[in-house]
Amino acid sequence: MSMISKAGYERQNIFSGSDYEKTYSYSRAVKVGPQVFLSGTTGYDYSTDTLAAGAAAQTAQLMQNANNALVKAGGSLSDVVRVRMYIAEVDDYDAIMDIFAETFKGISPACTTVQAGLFDPEIKIEMDMDAIVEA
């Protein structure tokens, strides 16, 4: 994590340990003041560099990855206010949404879902999120 002061807000770059972050110079999340912007996150287990099998398992791992980044920012998935979801196959929608609904029950963030070609054909789901955490 690095801290940079900007216009009265601290900027905190949060990293998960993914090789992609180092290679392509981006952060898993960036916190500026109380706002947290989470990069597109998939179902990779960054500790083992493996991808979960199937849409439901990838969604569950994705939620764990997102929560880990949000915890580093001082929050959790309960602080999410906006989700953008990119699914590779529309047939996986119900499996993905079952995990989504369980994770965000009672939180109900704004959400957009798009079917999209993802950069790796094994990836079934990618999400980016915005959260507001206590300052």
| Residues 88/68/9/23 CA torsion (nearest 10 deg) | -60
Condensed to tens digits (0 to 9), the pLDDT of residues 9-31 reads: 888 998 888 877 788 888 889 99
Residue 135's pLDDT band (boundaries 50, 70, 90)?
A: low
| Residues 129/57/87/119 CA torsion (nearest 10 deg) | 90
Q: Which of 112, 118, 115 is nearest to 91 (CA)?
A: 115
Q: What is the pLDDT of residue 1?
A: 43
> Hey, what CATH topology would domain 2-132 get?
60s Ribosomal Protein L30; Chain: A; (3.30.1330)
User: Which residues have CB under 8 Å from 8's CB, separation 6+?
Assistant: none
CB 64 within 8 A of CB 27: no
Furthest CA-CA distance within the chain: 46
Segment 114-135 shows an average pLDDT of: 94
Condensed to tens digits (0 to 9), the pLDDT of residues 36-91 reads: 999 999 999 988 889 999 999 999 999 999 999 999 999 999 999 999 999 999 99
Buried/exposed code over 42-55 (b: 16+ C-beta within 10 A; e: otherwise): bbbebeeeebbeeb
Segment 114-119 shows an average pLDDT of: 94
Strand partners, 11: 4, 32
Q: Where are the domains of the chain?
A: 2-132
Q: What is the pLDDT of residue 123?
A: 97
